[in-house]
Amino acid sequence: MSHDYDLFVIGAGSGGVRAARLSSSYGARVAIAEDTYLGGTCVNVGCVPKKLFVYGSHFSEDFDDARAYGWDVSAEPVDWPRLRDNKTREIERLNGIYRNLLVSAGVDILWGRAKLLDAHRVQVGDDVYRAEHVLIATGSWPHVPNVPGRELAITSNEAFYLDEFPERVVVVGGGYIAVEFAGIFAGLGAKTTLVYRGPMFLRGFDDEIRHFVAAELDKKHIERRFSTQVTNIERAERGLVLQLDDGTTLAADQVLYATGRDPNTAALGLEAAGVLTSERGGIVVDHYYRSSVPSIYAIGDVIDRAQLTPVAIAEGMCIANNLFTDRPKHTLDYALVPTAVFCQPSIGTVGLTEAEARGRFEDDVDVYGADFKPLKHTLTGRDERTLMKLVVRRSDDRVVGAHMVGPEAGEIIQGIAVAMTAGATKEQFDRTIGIHPTAAEEFVTMRQPRRE
């Protein structure tokens, strides 16, 4: 059978682009199809613009804190169009970089929605291409519940391009995206309310971290309405009105739903090609990302494992290695995937939560921790605190979890993740000399367990 390509990639997000570029560098003939934008969610309506908005939203506190350090700074309300448009220019620059990376690697870029016709044929527009291997890397898409008036709400996709900055915002959801956007809107000056159906947000994170962040958000003047659901959204004389299941109402100029993301598998022709999916619509793959059809693979958010850009990139590298080199097959170890939540203050975490460790190792667990006011705020007087904790398996002294809430938590946890991947023990943490004065040194000065 002759093929137009050795690898046909559907989706030019971070994972698909990495797989395409590497595969081409190994000598494969590669095409990549995209119907929205190069770089996927992360570059366009996710990690990158969100982090830029987090930076922007923190200046209100920075201006206040400057007075304690001898700087008299006055600030006008945020110039939203300037922030928005500066962000957009940066995203457009990154789009160009992604295009140049693909072109310079010899990858053919095809614009349009790709659809599987069978195990080896893909249709894009009126054209049909044959490929020995097909990789689906179409990511995920925001999920909005079927609530009356849902068409009046926005998702994170639209939040980056608002015409006007809202005075009153309701963020619905309890995951990391909801918490991050609540901090962004509040920091930029909006009266912000976070509505979540559960009793505590950030499900899946360490419980102590979750409660600590909830207390810190209260200090940021973000109203929390937990164990509450929106039952209806209506237009009002000014803005919108949300009906809640406790009988109360909320007025808002903008409602943002951040209630999860679904695998982006609609209209891909999966059923016609015989590709199996899970109940949530994620593509079912084996240890090496092969679907139920041997020639079709999938990586990233579309397989509904860890919805993180670096994970998709690592999976894409595995695909290129496994299909087009003679090296041993690679797969990803998901046990120690570090992550950060860019709420304010931010979260960094890697490894097991305390509850997970106790569930797995029972009484063979020690927990170390530190809770303190950062040095910076000893002058500012700001009531913001930092929390750090290590979870240790007592029998072999192995550090199995590290968690932090505080400024630059992600930057600090990245280094801790390297140590944990190398199998570091608590004794090795203790023998490491701290850098003083830093917050990070607390991770190597925790001497006594807080509790068994």
pLDDT value at position 70? Answer: 98
Residues 203, 217 within the same domain? yes
List the domain range (segments joined by +) for residue 278: 5-142+262-334
Q: Which pLDDT belongs to residue 451?
A: 59
Is residue 451 in some structural domain?
A: no
Query: Where are the strands (E) in 196-229, listed by range?
Result: 223-225
Q: What separation in angstroms does the CA of 424 have from each of 198, 333, 338?
A: 36, 17, 15
CATH number of the domain bearing residue 423: 3.30.390.30
User: Can you tell me whether residue 71 is helix, strand or coil?
Assistant: coil
For residue 182, being part of any structural domain is answered with yes
**DSSP strand pairing (140-142 vs 127-136):** unpaired
Tell me, yes or no, whether 15 lies in a domain.
Answer: yes
Q: What is the dihedral of CA 136, 141, 143, 144, to 10 degrees?
A: -140
342 with 50: CB under 8 angstroms? yes
Predicted confidence at residue 3, as pLDDT, reads 72
* Pair 272, 290 in one domain: yes
Instruction: For residue 327, give the DSSP letter.
Output: S
Task: Name the residues annotated as catalytic.
Answer: 436
**Has residue 82 been placed in a domain?**
yes
| 449 in a structural domain | no
Residues 12 and 48 reside in one and the same domain: yes
Two structure tokens written together for 61: 């506190």
pLDDT digits (tens, 9 = 90+) for 182-194: 999 999 999 999 9
Backbone angles phi, psi at 202, to 5 degrees: 60, 45
Specify whether the CB–CB gap between 9 and 30 falls below 8 A: yes
Please state the pTM of the whole predicted model: 0.96
Q: Which residues of the chain have pLDDT under 70?
A: 1-2, 451-452
At residue 121, the pLDDT reads 97
Domain termination residue (choose one: 259, 284, 299) = 259
Q: What is the pLDDT of residue 62?
A: 96
Nearest C-alpha neighbor of 164 from the set 176, 173, 154: 154
- 71/173 same-domain check: no
* Number of domains composing the chain: 3
- The CATH number covering residue 318 comes to 3.50.50.60
Tell me the CA end-to-end span of the chain in Å, nearest whole number.
63
Does one domain contain both 45 and 126? yes
Pair (175, 216) in one structural domain: yes
Q: Which of 102, 113, 165, 103 is nearest to 136 (CA)?
A: 113
Residue 238 lies in a domain: yes
Please state, in angstroms and rounded to a whole number, the distance separating the CA atoms of residues 226 and 223. Answer: 10
Would you say residue 85 lies in a domain? yes
Q: Which helix (H) or strand (E) holds 353?
A: none
Residues 137 and 272 in one domain: yes
Q: Do 253 and 369 lie in a common domain? A: no
Structure tokens at 379: 């002058």
Residue 316 lies in a domain: yes
